[in-house]
Amino acid sequence: MIPLLPCPLSAGWELVGQAELPTRAADGRRLGGFSAAASDPSDGSLWLLSDREEPELIPIWDLSGLGQRPLRLGERLPLRDAAGEPFPAPLDGEGLVLEGDNLWIVTEERRSADRPAQLLRFDRRSGRLREALLLPQAWRAAPGQGLGSNQGPESLTRLGGSPLTLLLAAERPLLQDRRDQLRLLTHGPGGFRPMGSLRLTLPAPHWGLTELLALPGGGLLGLVRGFEPPASWWTQLLLLPAPGPAGSEQAPLRRWDLLATGLAPDNWEGLALGAPLADGRPTLLLVSDDNFNPLQANRLARLAPRRQPGCSDGSVAALEGGDQGQ
């Protein structure tokens, strides 16, 4: 049984609360561009990563009152290079993992020498860069190869167990791959290691996988965002199997349309575990990225799995037959 999931899976998700984030900090500084989120179970905070030109992290507390009372924002943590100086080019951070005194961030590919996709490790206390890792050669920009510009990686999550193993994914297929193939990559003590791929059809160019979240009992949740100009949005949550070995392909096990819950149509990019509800149900926290666009908003939402009395069949193993959602 994986308690984070609906039971039965067809029961879907309940929108517990949602709210827009402030557009200005107490000092008048513009807030926005929140492209990733990570929760800290030690104090119940949620850390948001802003991909503004001067990247920063902002903690938020008291999410149990989301939509009912103002959110409490903590002191921002600016991200700096190893010398403590601002980065010469925007980082465009898209995925975030908290690990003790470390912050792990994955940055998006721009197919330029000054803005390659990287896995970065920062000091959580100072915000200074500790380590910068280029992705493997197959992921790097070359003629007809690598990540497309502004097409990932946008996902970063910690797999269960020890030692620390991070999982990241492309937002869209690499230029050399099939249109329905999304590569997965892990990073652990031995460095980067290619994993199996997701077989995932993305209906249009502005659709992509924006986040992964490892489930405590195994498997993954994936957040998929779709956009059609000028202002149409789609948001899906996917149940995915645990990553397979290199060369394997796996399809989603289930799909849920999150807009059907009442979630506001917007650019939802971040996904994290939240504190349980009073009835014991776990929660998911989602954050949207306004891209500093006045037609969008930075939003937070809280979802909980629906449960039917007596239901006990929520395991990934029961769904190995493939994609069972529409």
**Beta strand pairing call for 191-199 and 249-250:** parallel
Q: In sequence order, which residues have a C-beta less than 8 Å from that of residue 34 and are 6 or more positions away?
A: 21, 48, 49, 50, 51, 58, 269, 270, 287, 288, 289, 290, 298
211 within some domain = yes
Distance, CA of 228 to chain centre: 21
**pLDDT of res. 306:** 96
CA triplet 62, 277, 44: central angle to 5 degrees?
A: 35
65 within some domain = yes
Give the Å distances, CA to CA, from 186 to 120, 142, 168, 316. 14, 22, 6, 21
125 within some domain = yes
The answer to whether the bond into 78 is cis (omega within 30° of 0) is: no
326 within some domain = no
Mean pLDDT on 240-254: 95
pTM, two decimals, is: 0.93
Cβ atoms of residues 227 and 205 within 8 Å: no
177 within some domain = yes
**pLDDT of res. 234:** 96
Of 230, 301, 240, the C-alpha closest to 66 is 301
Of 14, 40, 49, 15, the C-alpha closest to 270 is 49
How many domains is the chain partitioned into structurally?
1
132 within some domain = yes
Cβ atoms of residues 120 and 138 within 8 Å: no
Range of the domain at 52: 9-317
> Residues of the chain with pLDDT > 90: what percent?
71
**pLDDT of res. 317:** 43
CATH number at residue 39: 2.115.10
Cβ atoms of residues 151 and 117 within 8 Å: no
pLDDT of 152 > 50? The answer is yes
Distance, CA of 48 to chain centre: 11
> Residues of the chain with pLDDT > 70: what percent?
95
Q: Tokens standing for 130?
A: 């500790």
Distance, CA of 238 to chain centre: 12
Instruction: Express each pLDDT in 177-211 by its tens digit.
Output: 999 999 999 999 999 999 999 999 998 889 999 99
Confidence of residue 63 (pLDDT cuts 50, 70, 90): confident
Interior/surface letters 105-137, b for 16+ CB within 10 angstroms, e for the rest: bbbbbbbeeebbbbbbbbbbeebbbeeeeebee
Helices then strands, counting H and E runs in the chain, come out as 0, 22
**pLDDT of res. 319:** 46
Residue the block writes with tokens 């902002």: 58
112 within some domain = yes
Phi first, then psi, for residue 67 (nearest 5°) are: 90, -10
The order of strands in the sheet holding 13-20 is 13-20, 299-305, 283-288, 268-274
Mean pLDDT on 250-263: 97
110 within some domain = yes
DSSP state of 106: E
CA triplet 135, 201, 286: central angle to 5 degrees?
A: 70
